[in-house]
Amino acid sequence: MTQPQHTGGRVNVLTKPAVIGSIEELRSRLTDAQSRIESARAGRGEAGLGRPRIVLVPTMGALHAGHLTLVRRARSLGDIVVVSIFVNPLQFGVGEDLGSYPRMLEADVAALAAEGVPFVFAPTSQLMYPDGAASTRVVAGAVGSLFEGAARPGHFDGMLTVVAKLFNIVGPDVAVFGQKDAQQVFLVERMLADLNFRTRIEVVPIVREDGGLALSSRNRALEPAQRAAARALSAGLEAAASVAAQGVGAALQAAHARIDVQPLVKLDYLVVVDPRTFLPVGGEHHGPARMLVAALVGHTRLIDNVALDLP
């Protein structure tokens, strides 16, 4: 496998990233990469720039254009990019698609090579949870039981636990997440504040298909008619944003008018929350808000959201 090289103050690769499945090896490689960058800086008289920054993009693989947008943002934020690929069993409930979740490591690595990613951390479940399901876990709290947490009990506890583990393994200065999973972003940011992590979160706007559907690894399971129907979710959010000046009720009504007419879309929830607390707002709410939507289209669960300004 091609070894990472120092290029222009950052670590890059010529062909393939180093795919690493060992915590010790990953830490050793990151330390070595930082040392190489520091040496190169010293040779150019740039020794005062500080420790080279590590940026982590946590993923479950099956990468699409949305993930690659996160990677590009990561490259602009630091010197060394690590992409983790791990399908975390703790965040899948009974009857969910853990077994069928797409795993395509070779294709993912090829896509990351094209983006100049030097390191891919691809641990096994045995490495992450050597004694089986972790007995010590991060608890998401009350917000973790709402919305996606109500539909998928324990999901956010499992998500926060693996994110905490990844942060402790990689030691990133910055971690990059997508806005599509708005509840996840809120809970990760709250965990970092509550537990005094040094890592900073960078949130990248939702990447959408041409028809407006938010990109997701699960979209590949949609049949053509289902994909067309699923576009009602983003259309509903867009309609809500266009009338947000009229208040919460008008925004919800506009979204329902676009979504409810699609027989292939089975709405789970459509709600407006306060971004500071992630709790539902009343009709008199003013200021920033976020509308969340989740629905089943066929057997595929889709989520989306949009920022609202309620003056």
Residues labelled as active-site residues = 67
Q: How many angstroms separate the CA atoms of 99 and 77, rounded?
A: 34
Cβ burial of 63 (10 Å; 0-12, 13-18, 19+) is buried
Q: How far is residue 121 from each of residues 25, 29, 128, 153, 165, measured CA to CA in Å? A: 10, 11, 11, 27, 13
Residue with structure tokens 């996840």? 184
CA nearest 24: which of 205, 164, 134, 169? Answer: 169
Q: How far is residue 311 from each of residues 124, 130, 277, measured CA to CA in Å? A: 49, 51, 18
Q: Is 151 labelled as part of a ligand binding site? A: no
Q: Tell me the Ramachandran region of residue 203: left when phi exceeds 0, alpha when psi lies from -120 to 50, beta otherwise.
A: beta
Q: Is 62 labelled as part of a ligand binding site? A: yes
Q: Is 286 labelled as part of a ligand binding site? A: no
Q: Is 165 labelled as part of a ligand binding site? A: no
Q: How many CB atoms lie within 10 A of CB 57?
A: 30
Q: Is 66 labelled as part of a ligand binding site? A: yes
- Put the strands of the sheet holding 300-310 in their side by side order: 265-273, 287-297, 300-310
Q: Is 144 labelled as part of a ligand binding site? A: no
Q: Is 91 labelled as part of a ligand binding site? A: yes
Q: Is 60 labelled as part of a ligand binding site? A: yes
Q: How many angstroms separate the CA atoms of 212 and 238, rounded?
A: 9
Q: Is 308 labelled as part of a ligand binding site? A: no
Considering Cα of 59, then 64, then 70, then 75, what sign does the dihedral take? positive
Q: Is 9 labelled as part of a ligand binding site? A: no
Q: Is 61 labelled as part of a ligand binding site? A: yes
Q: Is 180 labelled as part of a ligand binding site? A: yes
Q: Is 64 labelled as part of a ligand binding site? A: yes
Q: Report the SS3 class of residue 270.
A: strand
CA nearest 252: which of 267, 262, 263, 265? Answer: 267
Q: Is 76 labelled as part of a ligand binding site? A: no
Give, for 19, the enclosing helix (H) or strand (E): strand 18-20
Q: Is 216 labelled as part of a ligand binding site? A: yes
**In this structure, what are the phi and psi dihedrals at residue 13, rounded to the nearest 5 degrees?**
-130, 155
Going by the annotation, the residues of the binding site are 60-67, 91, 178-181, 184, 207, 215-218
* Binding residue numbers for (R)-pantoate: 91, 184
Annotated binding site for beta-alanine: 91
Extract the annotated binding site for ATP.
60-67, 178-181, 207, 215-218
